[in-house]
Structure 1
Amino acid sequence: MTSDVETRVVRIIAEQALLEPSDVKMTDTPVDLGIDSMGLVEAIFAIEEEFDISVPFNANDPQGSAFDISSVRSIVAAVKSLVADQTT
């Protein structure tokens, strides 16, 4: 069963990749989807707005950020964690 968070994150990522959400697989990386660094930053901003959260992402050092962007699955998991932290 797909969660609301997953659906919304996939929609945002799909918009940045100019794809339909159904074309985005959980195993895809931003690079697989054709999302460049600027597109990734825009997706992060959209996620922050959508969920009213602050994402710990450093565009200058994406690999050193506390926000895992290695796959769609990892992005969804990180957003779920941030949303859960906000409600507790």
Structure 2
Amino acid sequence: MAEHVRDKVIHILAEQAVLEPGDVSLDQTLEDLGIDSLGLVESIFAIEEEFDISIPFNANAPSESEFDISSIAAIVGAVEGLIAAQRS
């Protein structure tokens, strides 16, 4: 399941950045990918839709968000955590 989540999140972010998924690595940041604040919001909506989850993210105050966007790995981990919490 974890690989599935990772691959889907990377695909969504790569699409937003107009990159191939193979060009995205877990240690990169959204800034590395060229994803701006609007792209981040669109990516979050796409991730929410893909996994049927609600992401606790405030676009007006991203630094105060409970959703870690510091790296691609952090985003994948946060999505996995939300999916796990929804199932329990």
> Which TM-score bucket, shorter chain as reference?
over 0.9
Distance in 2 separating the partners of 1:49 and 1:75: 15
Which has a greater percent of helix? 2
Distance in 2 separating the partners of 1:72 and 1:63: 16
Identity of aligned residues (%): 61
SS at match of 1:69: coil
2:31 maps to: 31
Structure 2: tracts of 5 or more residues without a match: none
Q: CA RMSD in A?
A: 0.8
Q: CA deviation at 1:14?
A: 0.3
TM-score, reference length from structure 2: 0.97
Deviations, residues 14-72 of structure 1 (Å, cap 9, x unaligned): 00000000000101100000000000000000000000000000001111100000000
Residue type of the alignment partner of 2:61? D
State yes or no: 1:80 paired with 2:73: no
How many residues are treated as equivalent by the alignment?
87
Moved over 4 A (4+): none
Distance in 2 separating the partners of 1:63 and 1:6: 23
Structure 1: tracts of 5 or more residues without a match: none
